[in-house]
């Protein structure tokens, strides 16, 4: 097995509180277990949040709808999008976007039937 950080040689280093094997890298000293990393739920939430931010939704609205702390959302925005991305106005409502993104995550996008919005009518 190789280190997840530097790909150096690792050895066993006891157990964590859930009785999973821990390892330590002889090269960089990093400790980890085989389950170290983000869960699929967190990755899915991050994808949805980043899509909503790119679509122009406000962090406050996203925080309320998805029940995620605003500071966490701001950190994700800063880490993955930077300061340059700051749309002025959302193209669709946050509720419509959440329905679309949830359907995308579940692979059911083709089943969504959308109605024309007021933005399309002039």
| Cβ neighbour number for residue 77 with a 10 Å cutoff | 19
Element (H, E) at 33: strand 31-33
Is the pLDDT at 118 greater than 70, yes or no? no
For 53-63, the pLDDT digits (tens) are: 878 888 898 89
If asked whether residues 92 and 56 sit together in one domain, one would say yes
Q: Is residue 120 part of a domain?
A: no
Show the domain range for 29: 1-37
Q: For the chain, what is the largest distance between any 2 Cα atoms, rounded to a whole number of angstroms?
A: 67
Quote the pTM value. 0.49
User: Quick one: 82 and 101 in the same domain?
Assistant: yes
In this structure, are 54 and 69 located in the same domain?
yes
Give the model's pLDDT for residue 2.
81
- Rounded to the nearest 5 percent, the helix, strand and coil shares of the chain are 40, 15, 45
Both 32 and 73 in one domain: the answer is no
Q: How many helices (H) and strands (E) does the chain have?
A: 4, 3
Say if residue 47 is in the same domain as residue 103. yes
């Amino acid at each position: 097995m190789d280190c997840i950080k530097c790909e150096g040689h690792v050895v066993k280093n006891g157990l964590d509180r859930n009785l999973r094997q821990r390892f330590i890298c002889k090269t960089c000293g990093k400790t980890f277990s085989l389950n170290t990393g983000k869960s699929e739920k967190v990755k899915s939430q991050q994808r949805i949040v980043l899509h909503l931010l790119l679509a122009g939704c406000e962090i406050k609205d996203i925080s309320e709808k998805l029940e995620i702390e605003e500071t966490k959302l701001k950190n994700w925005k800063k880490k993955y999008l930077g300061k340059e991305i700051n749309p002025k106005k959302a193209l669709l409502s946050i509720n419509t976007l959440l329905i679309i993104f949830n359907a995308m995550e579940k692979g059911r996008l083709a089943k969504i039937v959308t109605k024309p919005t007021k933005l399309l009518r002039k």
